[in-house]
Structure 1
Amino acid sequence: MIGQPLPRLEDRRLVTGNGRYTDDIDVPGQAYAAFLRSPHAHARIVSIDIGAALAAPGVIAVLTGADYLADGFQGMQHVPMPLDAIDPTAPAFRDALHVPAYSRLHLPLPVDNVRHVGEAVAMVVADTAARARDAAEMIMVDYDVLDAVVRADDALTPGAPQLYDDAPGNLCFEVQLGDRAAAQRLFADAHLVVRRDFHNSRVVNCQMEPRAAIGVYDPAEGSYTLISGSQGAVRQKMSLVGALRAPADKVRVICPDVGGGFGPRSSVNVEQLAVVWAARRCGRAVKWTSDRSEAFLADYQGRDAVLRAAMAFDAEGRILATDHEWLGNVGAHTVSYVPMSNGTRIMTTVYHVPVAAVHIRAALSNTAPTAPYRGAGRPEAHHMMERLLDLAAHRLGIDRVEIRRRNMVPRSRLPYRSAMGLTYDSGDFIGNMERVLELADWDGFAARRAASAARGKLRGIGLANYVEAPVGAPRERIEMRVLAEGVVDLVSGTQTQGQGHATTFAQVVAAQLGVPPESVRLRTGDTAFVSVGGGTHSDRSMRLGGTLIVQNAAHVVGQGKAALADLLGVDVATVRFEDGTFIAGDTRLGLFELAARLESTGKPPLASDAEFNGRMAAHPTGAAVMELEIDPDTGEVELLHYASVDDVGQPINPLIVEGQVHGGLAQGIGQALSEGYYVDRDSGQVMSGSYMDYGVPRAGRVPPVSLVFAEDPTAGNPLRVKGGGESGITPATAVIFNALADALGEDAPEELEMPATPAVIWNAIHRESHAHE
C-alpha cells in the first residue's frame, strides 16, 4: 500500500456534508458569546460601561478582563521560544543580547490597554447569537487613544510608542548567530557584495473554516471541556491548564473536524479560553463562532519580516559569506518566535556558504499577533537567498543556472554540515535542479519570450532551489490495538486539518500488518484518550507517527507469533507472519482471527504503545521553475506554467502529496501577487479587513503544474519519509519574484513590493520607462 495513490478514505464523508466541525456541534442548554472589539490600535481603557448591554433582552452575562482576574485565573503562556532544531533540550536562542527573551501571559480580555485593532475588550453571553451581538454593540468603552506603531522597524526606533512597560524599546529579544567578524573580513576582500532589503509581507490565515469554540463546565466534577478545531488537542489543553490554574485531569480538549490550520491554529486563541471561563461563570455551555470580519482583525497572522540581506562573492560567482539582519514583527502579544528560528537555521539553503552570520531581533507592534504560517520562516529565507543569487548573476554576467551550479552542495559532500549547524544527510540538490530545468523546457524559453514580445507582452522565467528542516514538537505517541471485530484501532497525538491522515496512516498500517486500509480506525483530537502528542505542523506527522506505527506493528506481530505458539504449544521460532496471516505448520490464522481467539480465551489482546522524544531530522528538498507573462499596459500577471521536482522522501500516498504541493503553491502565489494586508502606518487601522480587499487567489490563478517526485533516500526513519506539506510553498515566492524580475529586468535599484499587485508592477514599469527617458 505504501506509494499507492489511494483516494482519501475520509472524503466521501466530508464532501457529502457529513463532516462534523465545531460549529456543527451543539451542547444542550448552550448560550452564545459575542465579543466587543477595539476600534483602536492602541488605547488605554479608562472605563467600560456594561449597564445597557446587561439589561438587553436575553443577556446572561457581560464579562471583562477584571472579572477574569477576580475569578483567580491568569493569562495564557504561549511559550513563544521554540526548542532548538538540533538539541530539543535547549531553547532555540539561548544567548540573547542585552535582554532575556520576552514572554508575557496573554489575557483573554485586557484590563489596562488595548494593543491592536480587533482585540477583544468585553464578552457578552446571551441566549442567542444575534442577541449577544446586539448587546455587545451597547457596551460603552471610554478610551484614551495612544500613539500606535505597526511596523517592526518603526517599533524599535528610539521614542516609538511602547506596548508594555516591562518590554523596553518593544524588543522581545536580540541574538547574533554565526561568525560576523569572519564574515566582515571576507566582505572586505570580496569581488562583489550584493545587498538588498526584503519585506516579507504579512498574510491572513484564510482557512476554509472560521474559528469556533464551545466551552463546557461541570460543577460536580470541577472540570472544563473545550470543543474547538485546532492543530493538536494536547497543546491546547496544556495552555488551558496553566491559564485556569486547574489540575490536568480536570481539563479536556476535543478537536472535531478542522477546515484548515496552516500553523496559526497550533496556539490557543483568546476566545477559546474565554468561552471555557464563561461556561463556569454562567453555569451553562457557551458557544462562539467567528465571522470573517473578526477573523481578519483577530486571528493570528503570518510572516511580516524585514530581511536586510548581504552576500559576498568572488569573481567566479562563488559565495564567500553572508551577513544578514532578520527583524520579525511579533505583533501585540508574544505568541511565537518559531519563524525566526526556522528561517535563520535554514538560511544557507542548498548552497555551500563558508561563513554565515545573522543578527536577529523580534519586535512588538500594535498589530494582531503573528504565529507560524505554512513554512514558518523557510519561505522567507529561500526568497532572500534565491533573489540574491539572481542579482549576483546579473551583476557578474554569469548565467543564473550556472551561478547555482557553482555554489550548490554536491551529493558527494553529504553528509554536509551547513554554516548554521544543520546536517543534510541526503538530497541530490544539483540533480533536482537539472531535472526541473528539463521538465520546464528552460532551453526553449528564448523562443517563447520572443513570441510574447511580438504580442506586446513581457515574459519571464524564474528558478529556485530549496531544502527544508522540519522540526516542531519533539514528542509524539501512537497507540495500536487489534480488535476482534476486524479493526485496527490507532490513537495518535497528531491532528489532521485536511492532510489525509486517515488514509496515509491506514496505508502504513496496511503495509505493516497486511490488512485492508478500510479496517484501520484512526482516533485523534480528544485528550480523554490522547495523552501525548505534538499536533500537526512542520512536516512531522508521518515522520514521527509513521515511525511509531512501524514500531507498534512489529511489536504486535511479535505478540501474535508468541500468542499462536502458546495456543498451539509450538516453538515461537516456527511461527511466521505473511500478508496478514500467522502460520504455524498447517495452522493459518489471520490477524483478526487470532485477535478473536485471544478475546474468547481471555488472553491479552494484541496491542502496543510507542512514544518518541527527541529530533528526527529530515530534509525535504527540490527545485522549481515558474514561467509568467506580464501585460505592460495593466501590470497584470498571468502565470503560465509551474514545474517542480520534489524530494519528499518516500511518498506514502503520491496523490495526497501532490495535493499538498498544489495547496502550498496556491498560498505562495497569493502572498507573492495578491494577498495584501494593509495597516495604516500612523493610526494602525486595518485597511484590508475583508475578502473584498484581500486577494486570496482563486483556482484560476494557479497555473498548469508539472510535478515529479524524486527520492534520495534518508536513513533517518524506517519509512524514508522527509515531508511534503511545505514543498509547494517553500520556493513559491522566490521563484515568482525571480520570474517577475526576469520579465522586467534586474536593473531596478529596489525590490518589487510584496505582494506584487498589478498596480505595483505597473508602477515599476512606468518608473523604469521614465528613468530611461
Structure 2
Amino acid sequence: MKNPNSSAPYIGRPLPRFEDRRLLRGAGRYTDDFSLEGEVWAAFVRSPFAAARINAIDTTEAKALPGVLAVLTGQDYLAQGGQPMHHIPEPADARDHTKRAFSGYGHSVIDVPHLPMPVDQAQYLGEPLVMVVANSQSIALDACELVDLDLEELPFVIDAAEALAADAPVVDPAIPGNLAVAAAFGNREAVETAFENAAHVVEGRFPNQRIVNAQMEPRSAIVTYDRESAKFHMIAGSQGANRQRDTLAACLGVPPADVRVTCPDTGGGFGPRTNLSPEQPMLAIAARLLGRPVRWTSTRSEAFLSDYQGRDMAVAARMALDAEGRILAYDATITGNVGGRTVGFISMGNAFRVLTTVYHVPHAHVAIEGVMTNTTPTAPYRGAGRPEAHLAIESLLDRAARALALDRDEIRRRNIVRPEQMPYHSPMGLDYDSGDFSGNMERALTGADWSGFEDRRAAARARGKLAGIGIANYVESPVGMPHERIDLTVNPEGTVEVITGTQSTGQGHQTSFAQVMADCLGVTPEDIRLIAGDTARVISGGGSHSDRSMRLAGTLMREASDSVIAQAREVLAHLFGLPAERVAFTDGLFDPGQGNQRLSVFEVAAMCDDPSLPDALRKPLAATATFTGRMPAHPTGAAVCEVEIDPETGELEITRYTTVDDVGQPINPLILDGQTHGGIVQGLGQALSEAMRSDPTTGQVLSGAFMDYAMMRASDVPFFGVDLVEDPTSSNPLRIKGGGESGITPALAVTMNAVLDALAPESVTELEMPASPGRIWQAIQDARQSLKEKTQ
C-alpha cells in the first residue's frame, strides 16, 4: 500500500516552478515593493573622479533645503559609532575549510577594512561620499546637487598591469605597490625542466574584460531602528541574509542578535549580492539617528558605477607538449583587478584551483596577483574564476593542435583524464572522485555533428560567410561558505516546515527543495513550506552561491528527515508496545505491524502529544541538521559552439550550441535546463558583446547605460542542445554536484574557439573579448593589410 498523498519519487521530475504562479501574476514582493510607515528616502553624492583627495565637504546648503532631515559624511558615520566593513575577501580553502585560500603558498594577502564612505580619499569613480536623507526621494536628489565637494583630483590607474609598474599611482596607501594578493602554487622547478625538454611550446595572454552585474532588480534596501529594543531590521535582496546580518552588525558595533535581516524576492544575484554594500550600513546609521525607516533604491545609472563588478582578470599561460601533443607542463600567471577596495579575492582562488581543468598535466605552476586599481571593486561573478581558467587552457589547446597539425578533438583525447585514472588528484590539489570527461566530450561531439561540420563550412563559404566550430571541456570546483543548517518540523495539520540557510535569487528552491523533502518523508511537494532569507527564523546558513545550495541543503534535508523518521518510529513503538526496529517506513508510510493500519508522517505528528508518551517523546516531530566543512563535488561536461561570420561587416551569428553536463542527480531537469540556458547566455554575452569600458585618460566610464553596454537578447541565440548525464559522486547521499555554473563555465572558451576557427582563413589568430562585429571587422582588415604588406 502506497501513501495516497504521495506520488513519489518526485526527484527527477521536470515540475514547473511553484513560485512562477505568483511571480508571473505580478504578485512577487521585492525590496522596493515594501512601504513602511514614516519612511524617509536616502540619496548619495558620489565621487566624480577615479581618485581624489577629500579636502572638505560643505553640506550647509543641502541641510537648509526644506524636507532634508540629515546630511551625513564619512566623518559623521565614524562619529555615530560606525565601523568599517570586513568583507573577508580571502575565502576558505577549497580543500580544508579551516585554512584560507592562499595560505601556505608563499602568500601575501592584504585586506584593508572598507569604510562605507571615505573620510580622506576617494578611490574609484562612483564611490559614495555623502548621504542625504529627506522626506521624499526627489528632495533627497535635489539636496545632493547642493552639496559642495572640495576634491583634489589625483593621479589614477585603472589597468591592473599598469598598476604594477614601479611608477604607478598608489591606489591605497595601506597596499604598497598596489599588490593586495601575491601567491604561488605548484612545482616551479619541475615545470621549468619540462619546458626545457618540450618538443613544442605554446603561450598566450587571455584577458577577461570587466563586466557589470546587470541583474533585473536594482539594489535596494530599507533599514529600521527600534529605539525601545535598540534593534535594527534591514530589508534587502541578497544572496545570504545571515552573512549580511553578521557584517552589518559588526559595522554597527552591536551583537548579531540586535540585527534582523530579511531578504524578500530578489531579482538576480550572480555573486556580487553576497557582500554587504556601502549604502547599507549608512542607511542603518541614519535610521538610528532619525528613529525612522530609511530607504534607498539604486538607479540603473548608479548601478553601472557602484555595484560590485565582475571578471577583469587576465591569465597569461604557456603549455609544454611532447612531439605527440601530450601536455608535459603548464605555467600561468593570474592577474586579477581587485578595484579600489578589497572586497573579494575569490575569483583568483577559484581560478588557480581549477587551472588544469579536465586534462592530465604532470607538472603545473601558477602565480597569483591581486592588483588594486582606481575602479569599482570586483566581486565573484557567476563562475568566479572558472570560466577565466578554462578560456586559457582551451585556447592553448587549439593553438597547440594547429601547431602540431592535429585535429582539435584529437589533441583533447590525448590529454583528457580517462575514467581509469579516477579518482584523480590534480596538480592544483583538487580530487575528482567522478566524471566521465572523455565520454562527455564524445557525446557532445556527436550531438553537435562535429564530423559533418566541414560540409556546413563549405555551404557557408558559398554564401559568403565564414563558419567556425569550437569545443571546450570543463570541470568545476564548488566551494563557497562552508556551513549550512536545516530546521525541519512536521505539523499535524498536514504541512512540513523547512527552514534553510540557503535562499533563492531565482533558482527555484521552493520547487526543487520541496521535491527532495517530499521523497524523504512520503508527502507531496505541495505539503512543503520553505522558509529562507529571514534571520528571525534562520539561525545560521551560508546563502546561495558556488553551486552549494542543493548539495549542502539537500544532504541536510535527508539527514533531518532520517532523524524525524527515527523519532516517529520511537513514538509508534511506545504507543503500540513494540521495539522501534519493528516499525517499518516504506512507500512513505509507517507500519507498526498492526494489521492493515499504516500511518503517514502527519498522522504520527498528531500522536506526538499523546499523554501516555514520556516527556522525551512528547514533543513536536522535528529535527535540526547542520554541516560545517567541505562537501566536494565536481560538475563537469563539454560544449560545442558553431558560428557564422560575415567578413565584410564582422556580423556574427551563433548557429548551433550543444552542451553535455554532468551536474549530478537532476532534482528537477526543467529547472536545470533553465539554469544552463541562463549561464550560456551570460557567457555568450561576455564573449561577444559585454564590456565595462573606461577612458584611460580621465577614468570616466564610457559604457554606463544599456545604450552603451550590449546585453544579449533572445534573438541573438539559437535553440540550445542541452543533454544531462551522470557519473555518480559519492560525496553526498543525493549525488548532487551542482548546476548553477555549468552553462557559463565553458561558454567563453568554446565561443572564442569557434570565432577564431571561423577567422582562420583570414589569418586572424588572436582576438580579445568581446568579439563584437566592429572588433571582428577590424581584425580582418588588419590581417588583410598585413598580408598585403608581406606580399609587396
- 2-structure distance, mates of 1:567, 1:197: 71
Give 1:328's aligned amino acid.
G
Q: 1:312 maps to which residue?
A: 320
Aligned equivalents of 1:682 and 1:246: distance in 2? 44
Is 1:361 aligned to 2:372, yes or no? no
Matched position secondary structure for 1:432 = helix
Encode CA deviations 1:459-504: one digit per residue, 9 max, x unaligned. Answer: 0000000000101111000010001121100000001000000111
Counterpart among 221, 225, 229 of residue 221 in structure 1: 229
Distance 1:746 1:245 in 2: 63
Is the CA contact (8 Å cut-off) linking 1:394 and 1:746 kept in structure 2?
no
Please say if residues 43 and 132 of structure 2, whose CA atoms lie closer than 8 Å, have aligned partners that are also in contact.
Answer: yes
Deviation string for 1:266-313 (max 9, x for gaps)? 000011111111101111110000010000000000000121111111
Q: 2:76 aligns with which of 61, 67, 77?
A: 67
Tell me if the contact between 1:96 and 1:174 (Cα under 8 Å) persists in the aligned partners.
no
Which deviates the most, 437-446 or 762-771? 762-771
Aligned counterpart, 1:35: 44
Q: Of the candidates 529, 536, 549, which is equivalent to residue 541 of structure 1?
A: 549
Q: Which amino acid aligns with 1:230?
A: S
Three-state SS of the structure 1 residue aligned to 2:93 is: coil
2:575 corresponds to 1:567: yes
Alignment of 1:178-197 (within 5 A): 178-197=186-205
Distance 1:34 1:123 in 2: 6
TM superposition shift of 1:571? 2.4
Alpha-carbon distance in structure 1 between the residues aligned to 2:83 and 2:486: 33
2:64 corresponds in structure 1 to 55
Matches of 2:761 and 2:154 in 1, distance apart?
Answer: 43
Task: Determine if the alignment matches structure 1 residue 121 to structure 2 residue 105.
Answer: no
Instruction: For 2:521, give the aligned amino acid.
Output: L
Matched residue, 1:9:
18
Percent pairwise identity:
55
1:406 pairs with 2:406: no
Asked if 1:693 is matched to 2:708, the reply is yes
Asked if the contact 1:466/1:621 (under 8 Å) is kept, the reply is yes
Is 1:521 aligned with 2:536? no
Q: 1:634 to 1:600 in 2, by over 3 A?
A: farther
| Structure 1 position 369, deviation (Å) | 0.4
State the match for 2:165 in structure 1.
Answer: 157
- Counterparts of 1:418-567 in structure 2, within 5 Å, are 418-567=426-575
Give the stretch that moved more between structures: 267-276 or 659-668: 267-276
> Structure 2 residue aligned with 1:682, among 677, 692, 697?
697
Which residue number corresponds to residue 601 of structure 2?
591
Are the aligned partners of 1:196 and 1:750 in contact in 2 as well (CA < 8 Å)? Answer: no
Distance 2:157 2:201 in 1: 33
- The CA deviation at 1:419 is 0.6
Q: CA deviation at 1:753?
A: 1.8
SS at match of 1:344: helix
Q: Which runs of 5+ in 1 are unaligned?
A: none
Within the candidate set 239, 244, 247, 2:247 is matched to 239
User: Which amino acid is 2:378 matched to?
Assistant: T
- CA offset at residue 746 of structure 1? 8.1
- AA matched with 1:698: R
- Residue by residue, what CA displacement relative to the aligned partner does 1:579-617 show, whole Å, maximum 9, x if unpaired? 332222233222112212324658211100000011000
Structure-2 residue corresponding to 1:82 = 91
The correspondence of residues 743-754 of structure 1 with structure 2, limited to 5 A, is 743-745=758-760, 751-754=766-769
CA distance in 2, matches of 1:297, 1:181: 44
- Deviation (angstroms), 1:749: 7.5
Kindly indicate whether the alpha-carbon contact (under 8 Å) linking 2:123 and 2:172 is maintained by their aligned counterparts in 1: no
CA distance in 1, matches of 2:293, 2:514: 35
Counterpart Cα distance in 2 of 1:692 and 1:461: 30
Structure 1, residues 216-255: CA drift from partner, whole Å, max 9, x if none? 1111111111110000011111111211110121111111
Task: Name the SS of the counterpart of 2:605 in structure 1.
Answer: helix
Q: What corresponds to 1:173 in structure 2?
A: 181
Note the 1:342-361 alignment, pairs <5 A. 342-361=350-369
Letter in 2 for 1:267: N
Instruction: Kindly indicate whether residue 681 of structure 2 is the aligned counterpart of residue 672 of structure 1.
Output: no
Secondary structure of 2:334's partner? Answer: strand
Q: Is the 8 A contact 2:87 2:275 kept in 1?
A: yes
Q: Deviations over 1:532-556 (max 9, x none)?
A: 1011000000110000000111111
Work out which of the residue numbers 640, 650, 662 in structure 2 matches 1:635: 650
> Does 2:112 match 1:104?
yes
Aligned to 2:744: 729
Is 1:147–1:683's contact at 8 Å kept on the other side of the alignment?
Answer: no
Unmatched 5+ stretches in structure 2? 1-9
Secondary structure of the corresponding residue to residue 760 of structure 1? helix
1:262 aligns with 2:270: yes
TM-score (norm: length of structure 1)? 0.99
CA distance in 2, matches of 1:83, 1:273: 25
State the number of aligned residues. Answer: 772
- Contact 1:262-1:374 at 8 Å conserved across structures: yes
State which of 735, 750, 757 in structure 1 corresponds to 2:772: 757
Shift of 1:27: 1.4
**Match status 1:23 vs 2:38:** no
Paired residue type of 1:677: M
* Equivalent residue letter for 2:639: A
Task: Give the superposition deviation at 1:751.
Answer: 2.7
Aligned to 1:708: 723
| Cα distance in structure 1, aligned partners of 2:765 and 2:645 | 19
Does the aligned pair in 1 maintain the 2:762–2:780 contact within 8 Å? Answer: no
The CA RMSD over aligned residues, in Å, is 1.2
